[in-house]
Structure 1
Amino acid sequence: MAKGKDKRVRVTLECNNCRINNNNNTKSQGIYRYHTQKNSKNTPNTLELRKFCPYCHKHTIHGEIKE
């Protein structure tokens, strides 16, 4: 039985397009975020996945952020 040595960590993915639009003070409804897990031993660098953003109404790149 496993004794808590799991290397999986919970990460938050945030839409890159919404993040850029909010920094430029343009009119935006919000920033959409996904929560997922990754194995920190196999994937030490930041995670980027292509996900659907309901605010942009299209598939965009979602990058990992620190919580």
Structure 2
Amino acid sequence: AICVVCRGERPAALVRPKTSEPYCKICFFDAFEREIHETIVKEQLFKPGETIAVAASGGKGSETK
């Protein structure tokens, strides 16, 4: 399979459960980080200067559709 973002510049490394689309490692990390950032900004989850920890399991219990 080829990555849906870079269109084959790099081979797909995974199929994203959320969308069922193939992503290469770099494009997946970019999409994941962008979505997390957009959620943090939109929901105003943190104040400037706060220290946070981030964990992501990616297991079946983490899936949303």
Q: TM-score range by the shorter chain?
A: under 0.3
Length-normalised TM-score, structure 1 = 0.24
Q: Flag the structure with higher strand content.
A: 1
Length-normalised TM-score, structure 2 = 0.25
Q: Flag the structure with higher helix content.
A: 2
